[in-house]
Amino acid sequence: MSESPLLVVEDYHVGFRTETGLAKAVDGVSFTLNRGQTLGIVGESGSGKSVLNRGFMGLVSSSRMIESGSVLFDGQQIVNQDRQDLWGKRIAMIFQDPMTSLNPVMKVGKQIFEPLRRHLNMDKGQARERAIELLTSVGIPSPAQRLSQYPHELSGGMRQRVMIAIALAAEPEMLVADEPTTALDVTVQKYILDLLRELQQEHGMAMTLITHDLGVARGRTDEVMVMYGGRKLEHAATETLFADMHHPYTEALLASTPSLAHPKHTRLFPIPGSPPDIVDPPPGCRFSPRCMYAQDRCTTDNPETTSLTDHEYACFYPVGSDAGAEALKHNQDAGQTATGLKIGRAKEGAH
Amino acid sequence: MMIALLVAVSMLTFGAMSLLGDPLFNILGPVAGDTENPENLAKINAAKEQYYLDKPLPERYVRWAGDFLTGDFGVQFSTDGQPPVANLIKERLPRTLRLMVMAQILAVAIAIPWGVLAASRANKPSDRISTFTAFLFVSLPNFALAVILFYVFALKLDWLPDTYNATDPFFGFTHKHRFTQLLLPAFTLALPTASVYQRLLRTDLITTLQEDFILMARAKGESRRKVLYGHALRPSLFSVVTIFGINAGALIGGALVVEIYFRIPGVGTAIVEAVLREDFPVVLALVMIIATGFVVLNFLVDILYTFIDPRVRR
Amino acid sequence: MTDTLKPTDVEILDASDQVPADSIAKKKLGIGFWLAISWLVFIVGLAVFAPVLPLKDPDQNFIQTEEKENAITGRVTESPIQPPYAPSGDHLFGTDSDARDVLSRTIYGARVSLVVGFAAIAFGMLIGGSLGMIAGFFGGTFDKVVSFLFLVLLSFPALVLAILITTLAERSLFTISLTLGILAVAPVGRLARAATLVFAEREFVAASRTLGAKPSRILRREILPNVMIPMSALALLGMGVSIVAEGALAFLGLSVEKGSTWGKLIRTAVNSTSDLENAPWMAFTPIGALFLTVMALNFAGDRLRDYFDVKELSI
């Protein structure tokens, strides 16, 4: 298909004015999302992955927020524009916690009817019929009964299904799934993720799947983008990334997260330290204070993005390269990295 | 619990009023003191017997309580001919109720849009001004506000009638007249109440507006208005409903002052008159009616909770 | 070093991933608080030092005269002008209908109003506070009885209760203060009880319990200082309420018989509609003083409450 991409994000910034200065939550991120494609956006808490999505959707309601750069949705510039006419109708969103994301004092039915009536101008009867179809399609048993129940009468997994049904109600072209399974039981997570993938392909929607768990992205996304401290560190086709990851952060992230992809009782390696201060970020590579590969250069220069055919990464000493191996060996011999991070024996492979 | 509370309230009032003095004086006037004259003594004894005044206090209480429960509120000692208290209540209560209902409706009608508007622009200059205004009204005592409103709207602007026509304004006049007569008193009660509601509603709404489901509602493409009134308002009404019950006492006190100032012959005026005249059954009946109303209102508030939030339903 | 990152950790950490809240106000009492305190100090100072301040005698009649020419005889005579007199350089806030200075009457009125307000809340604090603390600390039957008592007191519309009590006894400064003090018992007591319940659970109390400290000592040494913090905010708010309640009683003609209070001044000023219409300064001067004082008390109490982050307190 030679169709134009649905979403083109270029050098996008989101900042928040704080008392100590501008917090650069998203710092110059670019990516492209084609119709019918799923992009996994992965990073720790505070990496800016959520703010990135809420930012370009225009859902951040803070007078302290500033955005800049370019975001084209279906060819239309939406940065600093009123985006309300997109919400629900063209871009829908599902949230992390189904316990708090459904209105607790409104019947489930009414919450599904709302977008149907607003965006598709259905009358009550049509909306009801369509709502039952939607609930059936997300795998909810006895859907007609659910309509007159309140959210607290449903289980967490059910509620997340309801939320998905609401998001899909107006047949949006794009879905933003913000940690859709984090708050759910492990056993339910897989079903919801697979359901999302299935529905996304069935409806030909574009989707961004935001998660802190690299394992979630595996097998359910077409591309993966890894974010850290508001920046994009690595971006590749999903299979390429898992076969040959280049950024030490991606490697560390995979080793640190208990995930569905891991067999049980796998030894996990938490990433030492904490995410960077986004008001006053460290010079050079933002990950350098926590990176096992860090050399002197990493603390002063910001690595340019290296672009291969379907793989981008921003690192001087990429994993799997000679330079990377050398850097790691150098640090192991010294017992610490250039930023003073103490390291012991060689870390066992994460996979 | 409710019953125990009402019993305690009635006992307290009964006890307090019995210490007040001699109800005989109210009934018989100066004759009550004259035990020399056998004719008057007979009257005294007859009256004592009729109203059980010769019986000990606990017995009188039990008799009174029994009568009260069967709807017999006793007679007005201090009025000639001792007409039943029920007559007085029938005459006065509707006026007070009308005033209070009107005040509540006004208060809610002012507080909800005001609170929603303020919360949706939280911490912007317009919100700060409105918060300050609410604060002014909360700090302004009812009687002072009554004087100010009366001065501005009745005396200076002459928009509203400055006297309340006590000669039955509820039957002889048009609806419009009735309405305007109660407008100033109702506003006097409503403005501070609305300010209290507004403050609570604003705080709760600001919290609600940070909830995920509000973000979800916005992401669904609901209009700003729909998000505010359709999604955020109802879950934010808890404190307002709670204070609705608690505030009823203050509102009754306020109604009392307002009735006196605007010369409305309602329950408040009746109670002050009765207290000053030491009219035992009247005070007792009115206090009981007010206390019962207060307790029942708070019971209704509990029911209202379940209406607002289905999660409270068991 | 922990090996796993629990999902619960993620949830907590995720808060930082979200939008920073707009209203992260730094904890400060703010200039408004100090303005309010300044006004209170000012008005209390005026009230205390009224006799030694260069004020006009509040009870003196300052009859003004004018020269009138008798139309018939043509003789010029001094004849008194009918008071009230409008504000002038001589009487900054005018005079009342007996030609008495409104400003100095208002300041002298503050003496009674403030004493009543203060005495009432002090009584409420002493009785309600100790009952509430003891009830909250020891629990059991005593707690049930006290809680029920508070509830009974609260079921009375406050003003009705006040009217009842004030008609029982002669209306002296003492009985009025006592009446309003009784009204303050239940709200103060409930807060004290709630706060005690909270603190009785805290580690430092448990610690001194295990060390064998006597209950009375724990109450005095550990609980009282902590309960005093929320109570200080309530004291300011409560004093405002008491002053207003006194005003309302006075407005109904049921306040202290001797001496003047703000409420009584307002009542006299608005008794006749023509006085209010023609000499509004008579009513609005005491109203202004009352309003500013109550507002200052409310504001200071509010700020203090926010400052100490007391949740249980609301108007």
Chain C residues touching B23 at Cβ < 8 A: none
Among A152-161, A252-261, B20-29, C54-63, the minimum mean pLDDT is found in B20-29
Asked if C19 and A51 come within 8 Å (Cβ–Cβ), the reply is yes
What pLDDT is recorded for position C6?
30
What was the pLDDT predicted at C313?
41
User: Does the pLDDT value for residue C136 go beyond 80?
Assistant: yes
**Residues from chain B contacting residue A88 (CB–CB below 8 Å):** 219-222
Name the minimum distance, in Å, from the CA of C17 to any CA of chain A.
4
Note the pLDDT of residue C4. Answer: 32
Place of tokens 């100590």: A20
Do A78 and A6 fall into the same domain?
yes
Write out chain A residues lying below 8 Å of B234, CB-based.
105-106
Residues 21-50 of A with CB under 8 A from C: 23, 44-50
pLDDT of C68 strictly over 80: no
Q: Is residue A33 part of a domain?
A: yes
C291 within domain boundaries = yes
Single pTM value for the model: 0.78
Distance between terminal CA atoms of chain B? Answer: 20
Residue A70 covered by a domain:
yes
The average pLDDT across C201-218 equals: 76
Q: Over the stretch A254-268, which tens digit does the pLDDT of each residue have?
A: 888 765 555 555 667
Residues of chain B scoring pLDDT < 50: 166-174, 314
C89 touches chain A (CB under 8 A): no
Is C22 in the B-facing interface, judged by CB distances under 8 Å? Answer: yes
- Tell me, yes or no, whether A82 and A183 share the same domain: yes
- Chain A contact set for C4 (CB, 8 A): 258, 268, 270
pLDDT at C12: 27
Residues of C with Cβ-Cβ distance to B123 under 8 angstroms: 22-23
Nearest Cβ partner for C266 among B147, B150, B295: B147
CB-neighbour burial class of residue A299 (10 A; exposed 0-12, middle 13-18, buried 19+): middle
Residues on chain C touching B275 (C-beta within 8 angstroms):
163-164, 167
Least-confidence region, from A60-64, B31-35, C132-136, C247-251: B31-35
Chain C partners of A46 at a C-beta cutoff of 8 Å? Answer: 13, 16-17
pLDDT score for B165: 52
Q: Which chains are adjacent to chain A, needing at least 3 Cβ pairs under 8 Å?
A: B, C
The pLDDT value given to residue A110: 92
Task: Look up tokens 């006992």; give the residue.
Answer: B11
The parent domain of residue A294 ranges over 244-334
Phi, psi (degrees; rounded to nearest 5) at A67 = -125, 150
How many Å apart are CA C202 and CA C184, to the nearest integer? 28
Interface contact A45-C5, CB threshold 8 A: no
Highest mean predicted confidence (pLDDT) among A286-290, B246-250, C64-68, C90-94: A286-290
C69 half-sphere exposure, CB direction, 13 A CA radius? 2
Say yes or no: A219 and A263 in one domain: no
| B151–chain C Cβ distance below 8 A for any pair | yes
- Cα–Cα distance, B280 to B78 (Å, whole number): 9
Residues 123-182 of A with CB under 8 A from C: 179, 182
Does the CB of C159 have a partner CB in chain B at under 8 Å?
yes
A183 part of contact set with chain C, CB < 8 Å: yes
Residues 183-202 of B with CB under 8 A from C: 196, 199-200
Same-domain pairing of A251 and A318 = yes
Are residue A54 and residue A182 in the same domain, yes or no? Answer: yes
Q: What CATH number corresponds to the domain at position C265? A: 1.10.3720.10
Pairing state between β A65-73 and A76-77: antiparallel
Backbone angles phi, psi at B168, to 5 degrees: 50, 70
Chain B residues with CB under 8 Å of C168 CB are 16, 19-20
Residue of B nearest to C242 (CA): B141
Q: Please give, one letter per residue, the 3-state secondary structure of chain A.
A: CCCCCCEEEEEEEEEEEECCEEEEEEEEEEEEECCCCEEEEECCCCCCHHHHHHHHHCCCCCCCEEEEEEEEECCEECCCCCCCCCECCCEEEECCCHHHHCCCCCCHHHHHHHHHHHHHCCCHHHHHHHHHHHHHHCCCCCHHHHCCCCHHHCCHHHHHHHHHHHHHCCCCCEEEEECCCCCCCHHHHHHHHHHHHHHHHHHCCEEEEEECCHHHHCCCCCEEEEEECCEEEEEEEHHHHHHCCCCHHHHHHHHHCCCCCCCCCCCCCCCCCCCCCCCCCCCCCCCHHHCCCCCHHHHCCCCCCEEECCEEECCCCCCCCHHHHHHHHHHHHHCECCCCCECCCCCCCCC
Give the model's confidence band at A108: pLDDT under 50 very low, under 70 low, under 90 confident, else very high: very high
Short-list A122, A132, A57, CA closest to A95: A57
Check residue A345 and give its pLDDT: 55
In Å, how far is C142's CA from the nearest CA of chain B?
A: 17
- Beta carbons of A152 and B221 less than 8 Å apart: no
For residue A199, is it within any domain? no
Count of structural domains within chain A: 3
What's the burial of C208, exposed, middle or buried (CB within 10 Å: 0-12/13-18/19+)? middle
Residues of B with Cβ-Cβ distance to A59 under 8 angstroms: 215, 218-219
pLDDT of residue B20: 60
Chain C residues with beta carbon closer than 8 angstroms to that of B249: 154-158
Contact B212 A95 (CB under 8 A): yes
- Does some domain include residue C11? no
Residue C270 inside a domain? The answer is yes
More confident residue, A261 or C37: C37
Number of domains in chain C: 1
Least confident of A200-209, B227-236, C16-25, C304-313: C16-25
As a whole number, mean pLDDT of residues C94-117 equals: 81
More confident residue, A40 or B61: A40
Question: Residue B144: its chain C contacts at CB < 8 A?
Answer: 247, 266, 287, 290-291
A63: which chain C residues are within 8 Å (Cβ-Cβ)?
22
| Residue A105 counted as domain residue | yes
Q: Is A351 on the interface with C (CB under 8 A)?
A: no
**What is the spatial order of strands in the sheet that A91-94 belongs to?**
A91-94, A174-178, A206-211, A38-42, A223-228, A231-237, A311-313, A306-308
Does residue A69 sit in the same domain as residue A182?
Answer: yes
Chain B residues whose CB is inside 8 A of the C158 CB are 249-250, 253
Summarised one tens digit per residue, pLDDT across range A119-144 is 999 999 999 999 999 999 888 999 99
Instruction: Give residue-wise pLDDT tens across range A228-252.
Output: 999 999 999 999 999 889 999 998 8
How far away is chain B from the Cα of A52, in angstroms, using its nearest Cα?
Answer: 15
The A residues from 212 to 271 touching C (CB cutoff 8 Å) are 212, 256-258, 267-268, 270
What is the least distance, in Å, from the CA of A86 to any CA of chain B?
Answer: 7
The answer to whether B47 touches B29, Cβ cutoff 8 Å, is: no
Residue B222 sits at the chain A interface (C-beta within 8 Å) = yes
C-alpha–C-alpha distance, residues A264 and A261, integer Å: 9
Interface check for C252 against chain B (CB to CB < 8 A): the answer is yes
What does DSSP say about strands A91-94 and A174-178: parallel, antiparallel, or unpaired? parallel
- Partner residue opposite A50 with nearest CB, options C1, C7, C18: C18
Interface test with B, best of A94, A101, A121 (most B CBs within 10 A): A101
Q: What percent of chain A has pLDDT over 90?
A: 39
* Probe site for chain B from C156, C183, C302 (most B CB atoms < 10 A): C156
Look at residue C245 in the predicted model and tell me its pLDDT. Answer: 86
Highest mean pLDDT among A286-300, C27-41, C67-81: A286-300
Tell if the CB–CB gap between B147 and C287 is shorter than 8 Å: yes
Q: Is residue C3 part of a domain?
A: no
| Spans of all domains in chain B | 2-72, 91-278+291-313
pLDDT at A210 over 90: yes
- CB of B253 within 8 Å of a chain C CB? The answer is yes
Do A71 and A183 lie in a common domain?
A: yes
Q: What is the pLDDT of residue B162?
A: 57
What is the nearest CA distance from B167 to chain C, expressed in angstroms?
Answer: 20
Q: CB distance C13–A60 less than 8 Å? A: no
The fold for domain B91-278+291-313 equals MetI-like fold (1.10.3720)
A154 and A31 in a single domain? The answer is: no
Q: Which residues of C touch B162 (CB under 8 A)?
A: 273
Rounded Cα distance, A251 and A241, in Å:
10
Query: Which subunits count as partners of chain C given 3+ CB pairs below 8 Å?
Result: A, B
Report yes or no on A109 lying in a domain. yes
How close B37 comes to chain C (CA, Å)? 30
Residue identified by tokens 């250039």 is: A338
pLDDT of A348 > 70? The answer is no
pLDDT average, residue stretch C61-90:
72
By mean pLDDT, which of C119-123, C132-136, C227-231 is the weakest?
C227-231
Q: How far apart are CA A348 and CA A64, in angstroms?
A: 44
- Which residues are A76's β-sheet partners? A73
Q: CB B221 to CB A105 under 8 A?
A: no
Which range has the top average pLDDT, B236-245, C272-281, C283-292? C283-292
Q: What is the pLDDT of residues B48-61, one digit of tens each?
A: 666 666 677 777 78
Query: How far apart are the CA of A297 and the nearest CA of chain B, in angstroms?
Result: 43
The answer to whether the CB atoms of B141 and C247 lie below 8 A apart is yes
Question: Which residues of chain C have a CB within 8 Å of the CB of A18?
Answer: 20
Instruction: Tell whether the model's pLDDT for residue C20 goes beyond 60.
Output: no
Nearest Cα to Cα of residue A64 among C82, C196, B123, B21: B123
CA distance B213 to chain A (A): 4
Structural domain that includes position C158: 32-313
Per-residue confidence (pLDDT) for residue A262, from 0 to 100: 54
**CA-based nearest distance C36→chain A, Å:** 28
